């Protein structure tokens, strides 16, 4: 997973270059070639049309009724009539011809170009497709000639402009995509690093009770340890390992979005009393007192009682380890939220540990680590609530806020 952000940026740039190359191919080769073919078709169609008519006459008898059947094209040729000498060769150009047509006639004069064939003539700003036609007319006494041309120069200039516009748009989009891709890749790298750290820490946490179990089991086997006390330690470490595995499974399910809540309406005071009863064995052994402070009226919340009870129990268990003699469990409610506050009378949390207290496997100044508080935070967030830790006047304070039922 190294340098994945650079790989994403490289992939985006390669895709942008490929797209620009395809666009250049289509716009600069295929489209101009298409217009050249259409221009030639229009010239040929117009030549056939002109051959049915006699220019410079107002006599309607010269016109053919089949005009109406002529093929129509979206490109319309312009016609320049040439002045011919008796040798039936072009000897000049019409004085009223436009400047562009003058250049075209200059190009045409002196070149042996076949009649009724399409040719190309380019200038700085023009791209002409033209055809020269010469016809014999007995009634006129001399042949007449004309050049038909179609200027696709505006189209080619538009294509050049379109190239720059597309390049600018593609550059802007590619820049934004590269920035987003870089950030996305960076997030992937961070997540991969976090997962790697998670598995390393999980392995370390599981290894500790396993080594203890193995050590006491080997002591029993060797006959150097009291069976009763060793079995007690083995059971304690087994319970610790079971709890850790359950926490690891729960937090991984939350990360994967596979831990839906089973919500129900309940009195949060009952949930808090259940949490107190869950830690009573620990409290009794440590000489700690838990003092509840709840309102007299029911405090109804919509929650997953099993998971929220576990979150509160995790904090109570953590508080019992650091309290000197008392834990205060307070519950308050207003119109918007219920606040559960757990405060011990210990030394509090080190200031450098406070920003990381809910990080997974964070090892603070006490030298202990785990994921209990991290799991608690995830459970509270699943309930769309908040949790924070700070130091009060007499010790550490954990405060959970969750929305009330409406």
> What is the bridge-based pairing of β-strands 337-344 and 326-333?
antiparallel
Q: For the sheet containing 326-333, what is the strand order?
A: 289-293, 326-333, 337-344, 396-403, 386-391
What residues have CB less than 8 Å from 227, skipping those under 6 apart? 220
The answer, yes or no, to whether residue 54 has pLDDT greater than 60, is: no
The answer, yes or no, to whether residue 154 has pLDDT greater than 50, is: yes
Closest C-alpha to 338, from 270, 261, 244: 270
Lowest mean pLDDT among 57-71, 142-156, 179-193, 284-298: 57-71
The answer, yes or no, to whether residue 386 has pLDDT greater than 60, is: yes
> Is the residue at 181 inside a domain?
no
What one-character DSSP code corresponds to residue 139?
A: T
Tell me how far apart the alpha carbons of residues 331 and 402 are, in angstroms, rounded to a whole number: 11
Per-residue pLDDT reduced to its tens digit, 293-313 = 999 888 888 888 888 988 898
> Is the residue at 323 inside a domain?
yes
Tell me how far apart the alpha carbons of residues 368 and 353 are, in angstroms, rounded to a whole number: 12
- Against a cut of 0.85, is the pTM above it? no
Q: Stretch 87-97: mean pLDDT, rounded?
A: 45
What token pair was written down for 226? 């009291």
> Is the residue at 332 inside a domain?
yes
Closest C-alpha to 97, from 146, 143, 135: 146
Closest C-alpha to 299, from 336, 328, 338: 338
Q: Are 396 and 322 in contact (CB under 8 A)?
A: yes
Lowest mean pLDDT among 58-62, 130-134, 158-162, 232-236: 58-62
Tell me how far apart the alpha carbons of residues 140 and 249 are, in angstroms, rounded to a whole number: 102
* The predicted structure's pLDDT at residue 169: 87
Q: Are 219 and 230 in contact (CB under 8 A)?
A: yes
* The predicted structure's pLDDT at residue 331: 92
Closest C-alpha to 290, from 328, 319, 344: 328
Domain boundary among 123, 150, 177: 150
Closest C-alpha to 397, from 313, 350, 337, 341: 341
Q: Are 50 and 71 in contact (CB under 8 A)?
A: no
> Is the residue at 13 inside a domain?
no
What token pair was written down for 283? 């409290």
* The predicted structure's pLDDT at residue 342: 93
Tell me how far apart the alpha carbons of residues 78 and 94 are, in angstroms, rounded to a whole number: 14
Q: Domain of 381?
A: 264-403
Closest C-alpha to 205, from 361, 322, 377, 375: 361
> Is the residue at 223 inside a domain?
no
Domain boundary among 150, 182, 215: 150
Closest C-alpha to 276, from 294, 297, 254: 294
Domain boundary among 150, 165, 195: 150
The 10 Å Cβ neighbour count of residue 362 is: 17
> What is the bridge-based pairing of β-strands 289-293 and 144-151?
unpaired
> Is the residue at 315 inside a domain?
yes
> Is the residue at 248 inside a domain?
no
Q: Are 309 and 340 in contact (CB under 8 A)?
A: no
CB-based burial label for 91 (10 Å; 0-12, 13-18, 19+) = exposed
Give the CATH number for residue 392: 3.30.565.10
> Is the residue at 205 inside a domain?
no
Instruction: Spell out the long-range contacts of 18-25 with Cβ–Cβ below 8 A and sequence spacing 24 or more.
Output: 19/170, 20/166, 20/167, 20/170, 23/166, 23/170, 24/163
- What are the distances in angstroms from CA 148 to CA 50, 67, 86, 107? 10, 18, 22, 14
DSSP-based three-state secondary structure for 81: strand
How many domains does the chain divide into?
2
* The predicted structure's pLDDT at residue 117: 85
């Amino acid at each position: 997973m190294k340098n994945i952000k650079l790989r994403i940026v490289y992939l985006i740039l390669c895709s942008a270059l490929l797209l620009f190359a395809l666009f250049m191919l289509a716009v600069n080769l295929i489209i101009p070639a298409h217009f050249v073919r259409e221009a030639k078709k229009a010239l040929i169609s117009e030549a056939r049309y002109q051959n049915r008519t006699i220019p410079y006459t107002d006599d309607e008898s010269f016109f053919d009724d089949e005009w109406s059947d002529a093929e129509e094209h979206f490109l319309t040729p312009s016609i320049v009539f040439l002045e011919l000498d008796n040798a039936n060769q072009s000897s000049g150009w019409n004085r009223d011809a436009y400047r562009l047509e003058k250049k075209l006639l200059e190009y045409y004069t002196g070149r042996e170009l076949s009649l009724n064939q399409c040719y190309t003539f380019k200038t700085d700003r023009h791209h002409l497709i033209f055809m020269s036609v010469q016809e014999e007319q007995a009634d006129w006494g001399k042949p007449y000639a004309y050049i038909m041309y179609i200027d696709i120069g505006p189209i080619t200039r538009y294509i050049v402009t379109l190239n720059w516009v597309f390049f600018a748009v593609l550059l802007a989009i590619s820049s934004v995509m590269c920035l987003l891709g870089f950030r996305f890749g960076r997030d992937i790298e961070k997540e991969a690093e976090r997962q790697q750290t998670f598995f390393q820490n999980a392995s370390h946490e599981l290894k500790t009770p396993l080594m203890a179990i193995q050590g006491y089991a080997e002591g029993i086997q060797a006959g150097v340890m009291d069976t009763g006390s060793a079995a007690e330690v083995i059971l304690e470490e087994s319970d610790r390992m079971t709890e850790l595995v359950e926490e690891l499974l729960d937090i991984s399910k939350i990360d994967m979005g596979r831990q839906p809540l089973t919500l129900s309406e309940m009195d949060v005071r009952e949930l808090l009393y259940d949490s107190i009863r869950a830690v009573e064995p620990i409290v009794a052994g440590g000489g700690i007192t838990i003092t509840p402070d709840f309102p007299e009226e029911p405090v109804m919340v919509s929650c997953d009682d099993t998971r929220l009870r576990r979150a509160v129990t995790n904090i109570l268990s953590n508080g019992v380890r650091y309290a000197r003699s008392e834990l205060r469990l307070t519950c308050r409610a207003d119109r918007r939220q219920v606040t559960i506050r757990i405060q011990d009378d210990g030394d509090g949390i080190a200031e450098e540990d406070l920003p990381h207290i809910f990080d997974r496997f964070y090892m603070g100044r006490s030298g202990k680590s785990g994921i209990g508080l991290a799991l608690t935070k995830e459970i509270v967030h699943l309930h769309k609530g908040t949790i924070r830790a700070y130091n009060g006047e007499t010790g550490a304070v954990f405060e959970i806020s969750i929305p009330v039922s409406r």
